[in-house]
Structure 1
Amino acid sequence: MDKTTIIIAQFGRSDLTLNCVRSLTEHHPHLAEILIVDDGSGSPDVAPLQSAQIERCTILSRPVRSGVTSSWNFAARFARGQMLVFLNNDVITTGLWCDSLIDPLADNSCVMTGVERRPAVELSDSIREAWKIDSLLSGWCFAIRREFFAQLNGFDEKLQLYFSDTDLQCRCLAQFGHGAIRTVENLPLQHLGQQTTKDLPTRSQQWNDDRNHFERKWNCSPSKSSS
């Protein structure tokens, strides 16, 4: 796994991040690189991560909050691994999973992998029919080859919090075709679900703003999903 970089973004809730990273390293003691991006939450939230002194873990502190999408791009610029794994900080590792997630990426026809799929309700019927898909990867844990990430120009930072992983998958499908995205199911991971954003006061407004930008960009009908 010396070719893999795990990227974790946080805004506050360093307790979640610590639990995430400790469980990850417990089962993957030989990970080459973990990058934690603190998105402007300030020194009190960074201090517990620094004092933990987790081996091969680098903390990147941003002075001003810019959103998880920008933080993902920011960390990717520092990453040394050939494979990038984007992991939410509210995920607990219960066994070995990293190699299984990135192994399909050795095939150049595979651009992205994820741990589960969700209905692609935010895409128009015409797009789903043209791409022959009815689902997309869930955004809480997914991997992509670094060279393809650069080729796709990373995440669209106009989508600050929501739909950025969906948009990346759309561009991936548009450029590389139906087989570019694969799912590796039943990996030993527990996603606690929306623990980072549940107390965010601007959450609803941000979801609407990001949804509107996504729909304008892809000329989709209004999304049927909600946040």
Structure 2
Amino acid sequence: MTRSDVTAIVVTFDSAHALPECLGALRADGVPMLVVDNASTDDTIAIAEGQGARVIRNPRNEGYGRANNSGARAADTEFVLVVNPDCIVDSGAVATLIDAARRYPDAALFAPQIIEPNGRVFFQPRSLLSPYLHNPTGKLVLPEGEACTAFLSGACFLVRRDVFLKLGGFDENIFLFYEDDDLCRRIADVGSALIYVPQAGVRHGRGRSSEPKRGRIYASRWHQAWSRAYVSLKYGLPNPAPGMFAVNGLKALGAYLTFQRKLIERYGGSAAGAWAAMMGRKAF
């Protein structure tokens, strides 16, 4: 039986390798699927259509936040489930999240327990942008049951569509990274809670959303550094860009001297992203 109260939004970019398991699990659980494709060059669209998903085709890579916003606007259900293509949602997990939403009408965003490939439970004990529930040392203690929290991962979560759209969705100035921190902060700022629902399970491939290609580590690290600086300044926090540029610039120089390409991309990307933020460049 197909659910009528939720739409799963899956943003893809060269995600053919991960998509069959992701969409297959949602389809088996009766969750309608909307794939927003960011100009993939592989078989992503064919796989999505073969799994019965509705597809929105972006002519260029619009980034994670903008693509999800497009999906939320195109959906017409009470809830949207944001799902990374490298996530496999356990049977019954969506129903469990929606049940929690019914029991907590003052909350807007609900996230499952996310299990990483090594079996570790992903749970971030603090957020850069958290206005409450402070945890200065970052001590990790997993909640024993449902809990109000300061941050929930953007890898997979359920959100009330009306609240999401009223807030403008993800910040469209951000291409990638920290858009989930920013959304959680804005939800908290309007007085809504974020609820962790550990009895709903999701397996996360972590980093498998796009097929690895030369240059993608550099691009990923560029956006991570730029976005951290952007959200810090947005909320009046100290600008981390100068420090990131100095540290990663030195590390990139060391990597160049040892001809380690992955490290060159990693540290060079971080330094370049920090420099771009310092120069006032945009992410798009």
Q: Count matched residues.
A: 214
Counterpart CA distance in 2 for 1:79 and 1:43 is: 25
Structure 1 pair 86–47 and aligned structure 2 pair: CA distance change class (3 A): same
Counterpart CA distance in 1 for 2:89 and 2:187 is: 27
**1:179-198 residue CA offsets vs partner (Å, 9 max, x unmatched):** x1111014232111111258
* Residue correspondence of structure 1 range 149-188 to structure 2 within 5 A: 149-177=164-192, 180-188=193-201
Structure 1 pair 210–7 and aligned structure 2 pair: CA distance change class (3 A): same
The secondary structure found in structure 2 opposite 1:119 is: coil
The secondary structure found in structure 2 opposite 1:194 is: coil
Q: TM-score scaled by structure 2?
A: 0.69
Contact 1:83–1:146, Cα closer than 8 Å, also in 2: yes
The corresponding residue for 1:7 is: 9
Unpaired runs of 5+ in structure 1? none
Contact 1:104–1:110, Cα closer than 8 Å, also in 2: no
Contact 2:72–2:165, Cα closer than 8 Å, also in 1: no
Q: Does 1:110 align with 2:107?
A: yes
Q: Percent identity, aligned pairs only? A: 23
The corresponding residue for 2:120 is: none
* Residue correspondence of structure 1 range 1-227 to structure 2 within 5 A: 1-26=3-28, 28=29, 30-31=30-31, 33-42=32-41, 44-50=43-49, 52=50, 54-55=51-52, 57-106=53-102, 107-116=104-113, 117-123=123-129, 128=131, 131-134=132-135, 135-177=150-192, 180-196=193-209, 199=212, 200-201=216-217, 202-221=219-238, 222=240
Counterpart CA distance in 2 for 1:212 and 1:34 is: 34
Q: TM-score scaled by structure 1?
A: 0.85
Unpaired runs of 5+ in structure 2? 114-122, 136-149, 242-265, 271-284
The secondary structure found in structure 2 opposite 1:76 is: helix
Structure 1 pair 164–88 and aligned structure 2 pair: CA distance change class (3 A): same
Contact 1:42–1:63, Cα closer than 8 Å, also in 2: no
Q: Which of 1 and 2 has higher RCO (CA within 8 Å, sep 6+)?
A: 1
The secondary structure found in structure 2 opposite 1:118 is: coil
Instruction: Please list every run of at least 4 consecutive aligned residues from structure 1 whose deviation after the TM superposition is greater than 6 angstroms.
Output: none
**1:138-169 residue CA offsets vs partner (Å, 9 max, x unmatched):** 22111111111122111101111111111011
Structure 1 pair 109–189 and aligned structure 2 pair: CA distance change class (3 A): same
Paired AA for residue 63 in structure 1: P
Q: Which is higher, the Rg of structure 1 or of structure 2?
A: 2
